[in-house]
Amino acid sequence: MTTLARSLRTVDYFTLGFGTMVGVGWLVLMDDWLRRGGPAGVMLGFAIGGVALLPIALVYGRMVVAIPDASSEIAYTDGVFPAGASFAAGWIMMLAYLIVCPWEAVAIGRLASYVFPGLEALELYRVGGKPVYLPSLLLGLGLTAAITVINLRGIRLSASFQKWMTFSLLAMFALFAGSAIGRGSLDNLHPPFSQGGTLSVLLMLQVVPYFMTGFESVPKCAEEASPEFRSGGFFRAILLSLVVGVLFYVVVVGLVAYLRPWQSLATQRFATAVAFEQAFRSRRMVDLLLLAALISLLKIFNGNFVAASRLLFALGRRSLVHPLLGRVHVRTRTPTVAILALGGVTALATCLGDAILVPITEVGSMASALGWLATCAAYFCRRRASGERALAVTGMTVAGLLVLMKLIPGVPGHFTGPEWIALLLWAVAGLAMRRRGPEAAPATLDASS
């Protein structure tokens, strides 16, 4: 059997993890964040959320070193739990990555329409009462085709694209931060909370996990590491992507609130752009911000596409879905069929517009937590040392609470009818595609991993 290409290094894994985590929320959702928590509430929410996710990141770092398998959650739980649970862990985790792809394809039309309002013309149809415009649809489909082609050409091209996009964003962000010094006031951060300290932080903690998903994407490409790669690089890449992601969110929120009084920004669409435009009194700065957002959009689309395609490929290779999805191209050594399948699904979902994607996105935010829970539970079952089991229990507790926040009625942001329907449809699709693969003995963890 042709194996996947082996060419990735530690820096590639970092840009995959960070790039899959940080999208365009810092531009398009800043007003919602500020209304939820105020500047201090948002910054504390991301900081506390990052610390809470640290045990889960540590578990993933140890699991991928011990079991460098593209199926990640599937391999970790295989042999530890029933076969159905193993399939479910991989299937629900794939949703977390897959749903980001059409969402970003739709988002590019939104960003473009902010610069060129004329793009919101030539309405084709409506879904859920929201219009789908021809120019925006063409942009989304064009972006989907481009990302699909990049991935078909090989992991090296995809990784290089991810690396350029990630470091371009970080460089532009550093430029924005440096240029903003002296153009705002610390007084603009008062009052620090929008609804009282504890409540403000809690309201942010409900959404933080969705924006911090991505560090666990590193194991999906574990089989594509360069022959010279040392397994400790997985661990470093996962932790670094989580830390840099937290710092990015904390600093960008503080920067926006520093530039302009946050209460006024909380009522503005694209609050980040408004803050910079007013502080610099220049439309050119807004254009640069939108360029940074576009770069961030491209990398998060590509990163999630890579992770989702590897999970689908792994399911096919294990004959848990049609084996054709587990095929690897002889020349490019990429999972061609899985990539084409995901490109097609993304294109179809893009045609539905953002109205249909909203409830599915809510399901996707819980899907990651379920995958984290399964991985931590598998680590607990595989380990015997008390310290390692304590780490697993901590991770399970955090992931379990994140799941419960979505499932328990009465908790703000819990599932409503559309979310339950979306989850049911995804489960039905999994049952329809699932095949019974061969039983596998559980992989063992050595003492050094």
Residue 361 lies in a domain: yes
Pairing status of strand 123-127 against strand 130-133: antiparallel
Q: Residue 405: its pLDDT value, please? A: 82
Q: What is the CATH number of the domain that holds 316?
A: 1.20.1740.10
d(CA 212, CA 242) in angstroms, rounded, equals 7
More confident residue, 206 or 186: 186
Residue 3 lies in a domain: no
Number of domains in the chain: 1
Q: Hunting for tokens 């504390």 — which residue is that?
A: 44
Render pLDDT for 388-406 as a digit per residue (tens, 0 to 9).
999 999 999 999 998 888 8
Residue 442 lies in a domain: no
Yes or no: say if 191 and 38 are a contact pair by the CB < 8 Å rule. Answer: yes
Give the type of residue at 406.
K
Kindly state the average pLDDT of the residues 350-374: 79
Give the type of residue at 81.
F
User: Smallest Cα–Cα separation from 26: which of 200, 254, 242, 252?
Assistant: 252
Q: Residue 243: its pLDDT value, please? A: 95
Q: How confident is the model at residue 448 (pLDDT cuts 50, 70, 90)?
A: very low
Q: Residue 285: its pLDDT value, please? A: 83
Residue 365 lies in a domain: yes
Residue 5 lies in a domain: no
Question: Does residue 355 surpass a pLDDT of 80?
Answer: no
Its sign, for the CA torsion 198, 200, 205, 208, is negative
Question: Does residue 354 surpass a pLDDT of 80?
Answer: no
Cα→Cα distances 245→6, 84, 270, Å: 26, 33, 20
Kindly state the average pLDDT of the residues 425-435: 89
Question: Does residue 442 surpass a pLDDT of 50?
Answer: no
More confident residue, 92 or 118: 92
Neighbours of 209 (CB within 10 A): 24
Question: Does residue 310 surpass a pLDDT of 90?
Answer: yes
In the structure encoding, which two tokens stand for residue 210, read together?
């969705």
The whole domain housing 312 covers: 10-433
Residue 445 lies in a domain: no
Q: What angle do the packed helices 10-21 and 155-180 form, to 10 degrees?
A: 60
Question: What's the whole-number average pLDDT of the chain?
Answer: 88
Q: How confident is the model at residue 45 (pLDDT cuts 50, 70, 90)?
A: very high
Residue 108 lies in a domain: yes
Q: Residue 441: its pLDDT value, please? A: 42
**Could you tell me how many residues make up the chain?**
449
Residue 439 lies in a domain: no
- The percent of residues above 70 in pLDDT, for the chain, comes to 94
